[in-house]
Structure 1
């Protein structure tokens, strides 16, 4: 080997080795800090593109899930109000049954009418309160609610609405006027039974809609979970492996620095020969 003070091949080789190790160390440190094996297109264009596509699909699913949750809330509120109204109708039937007794005095009948009318007002309040997000499936303002069920908009879940303010649905006299006579009370009992049947059918349809929303939401949740796992498999770093590499590269970097220092000191040894 020829000793030369003009150039230092050993130092150049040592510097190249140090730069290579430092670059590898920076890559590993980035993967450890971000937790990602692929965090940009330059890391792996194909995997990055595939992961981005799956992220877009996941975002679409989350949007649909949000719509399903909003729809479920509207249906749940309607069902809760409808069940409450059903309970009130049972109480009203009991009062109407008492009012069908022809032996009742005027004051007793008037008291029953007041109780009946009070329950009728409560039905009105419950219908009005079944509003969420501007939607009310019981007051006739929303006769049908369509909820998007797919990421491409090709599938919807349609929930029927009802008008419990309509006399053809709630066939009772909510003012209690029919209870003024025993015959009127008997007629009101039949109307209450019809109303309960109508309401039960409405609640059954709402319940079926609620189940459909829940089933679709659960399906999308499973798909979203699978996508998250898939994205992780594509881009996540193996932190245990990267941690081991980090330690090894740190040692290699220290050795490379020492090697470069020794190589840089070689020309000084030549000068010592002329001292």
Structure 2
């Protein structure tokens, strides 16, 4: 080997190895600090891009969940109103049945008519107040509501159900005598059947919306887990590697120190 004070191959090799160790150590420390093995595009452009796209899809699903949850609330309000309306229709049928009794005196008949009319008007009030965020599914104004279904802008449609007096076929329902009260019994039965059919349709829509919302939650969790698999660092592995690299760094510093001392032996050749 050439003995020279100008060039020290051993020191150059030791320095190269030490620099490589320091680079690995910096990478490992960055992974431990960030918790990610791929923190930016410099680490791995292809994987970073893939992870960013999947992360964006997962984040956009938050808007989908918000939309579906609004849908849940809107349907729940409509169903609550529907329960009230079916109760009112049942009571109206009872009043009509009672009023069909020909043995009633005028005062009793009029009292039943007043109750019947009051119950009918309460249906209108229930429909008018069955709104969530200003939107109703039972007021005959809304035909359908469309909610977000996926991150691509797909839709989940809920058809509205008209529970107004007109929608139930009893607009202006009343009776004037026992005979018309008796006829009203059938009308109330039909209205009750119509109401329950419409509520059944809303219930089916609600179940479908709930199922889809659950799916969206699972999909978002799967996307987040997938992104984690792509970019997250194995901290246990990185911790073990850190210990190894720190030891290797110390040995590299010692090796460089020894290599730098090598030219000093040349001085011994000039001692008399």
Structural RMSD (CA)? 3.0
Q: How does 1:188-227 map to 2 (within 5 A)?
A: 188-227=184-223
Work out whether residues 77 and 132 of structure 1, in 8 Å CA contact, stay in contact via their aligned partners in 2: yes
Aligned counterpart, 1:127:
127
CA displacement, residues 2-61 of structure 1 (integer Å, 9 cap, x when unaligned): 665555554444333332222211111111222212121111122122222322333444
Alpha carbons of structure 1 residues 219 and 168: separation in structure 2 relative to 1, 3 Å: closer
Structure 2 alignment gaps of length 5 or more: none
Aligned counterpart, 2:248:
252
Query: Distance between the aligned counterparts of 1:105 and 1:270, measured in 2?
Result: 135
What is the TM-score with the length of structure 2 in the denominator? Answer: 0.83
Query: 1:242: Cα distance to partner?
Result: 1.1
Query: Distance between the aligned counterparts of 2:107 and 2:260, measured in 1?
Result: 116
Query: 1:205: Cα distance to partner?
Result: 1.6
Alpha carbons of structure 1 residues 263 and 185: separation in structure 2 relative to 1, 3 Å: same
Q: Does 1:238 align with 2:234?
A: yes
Work out whether residues 172 and 188 of structure 1, in 8 Å CA contact, stay in contact via their aligned partners in 2: no
Alpha carbons of structure 1 residues 112 and 166: separation in structure 2 relative to 1, 3 Å: closer
Q: Does 1:90 align with 2:90?
A: yes
Work out whether residues 123 and 165 of structure 2, in 8 Å CA contact, stay in contact via their aligned partners in 1: no
Query: 1:128: Cα distance to partner?
Result: 1.8
Q: How does 1:110-121 map to 2 (within 5 A)?
A: 110-121=110-121
Query: Distance between the aligned counterparts of 1:169 and 1:184, measured in 2?
Result: 18
Alpha carbons of structure 1 residues 7 and 158: separation in structure 2 relative to 1, 3 Å: same
Query: Distance between the aligned counterparts of 2:266 and 2:185, measured in 1?
Result: 118
